[in-house]
A and B are shown apart, each in its own frame.
Chain A
């Protein structure tokens, strides 16, 4: 099973861009990477998903390089309300398995 690793924590300030990288060494060409956000006492909530190059939605961007050994979640111009734990999830279609990272705690300061 591919191991999914991400930094434990990151600090930022309001208005800055936050980039969180997830490492996933052994994923296949069509395995999807999904990012979730979790606030205390709530379940994780979907942010963005992709399997190659770049995906952008109204809240984030996801960059996946050609070697697919990592992916980067980019949060533009963060605010205090973006303080949360962010999880990377890889769907391994060949093994029919899911691999969650341990989460990155992002703290945004004023």
Chain B
């Protein structure tokens, strides 16, 4: 069974440029998560989807971050414009549904903003 797929794996951009990350969850997983992980810290939830619906986006900086999960399968997270402080690893995870279900993480996208 294929795991969670993320692309790109690495991205280097200049500040004020836009950037987008893509995630394809495990087949059959209704819930999809986007996390940001700063160096030496635990994952910080940005947004959680149940199918197409964003059920928790309370930690998503909505002035510059946006996300979508059309058709309830793959998802895109966008930053526009990027700031120096956005340099981090962006992790995508998926699970079957309930909040306590095991999350399966992708390898992450490492973003460096110069």
Using CB atoms and an 8 Å cutoff, list the residues of chain A in contact with chain B. 31-32, 34, 36, 41-46, 49, 51, 87, 91-93, 96-98, 100-103
CB distance from A95 to the nearest CB of B (A): 10
- Return the chain B residue nearest A102 by Cβ: B42
- Contact bitstring B3-44, A, C-beta under 8 A = 1, else 0: 010000000000000000000000000000000000011111
State the 6 A-B residue pairs at the shortest beta-carbon distance, nearest first.
A43-B105, A32-B100, A100-B42, A91-B100, A91-B99, A46-B102
CB distance from B33 to the nearest CB of A (A): 8
| Residue among A31, A43, A51 with most chain B CB within 10 A | A43
Q: How many residues of B contact A (CB 8 A)?
A: 22
Cβ-based interface call for B103 (8 A): yes
Given contacts A43-B108, A103-B42, 10 further A-B contacts (CB under 8 A): A34-B103, A36-B103, A42-B107, A43-B4, A43-B91, A44-B91, A49-B100, A93-B99, A102-B41, A103-B40
Taken together as a complex, chains A and B put the C-alpha atoms of A44 and B94 apart, in Å, by 12
Cβ-based interface call for B45 (8 A): yes
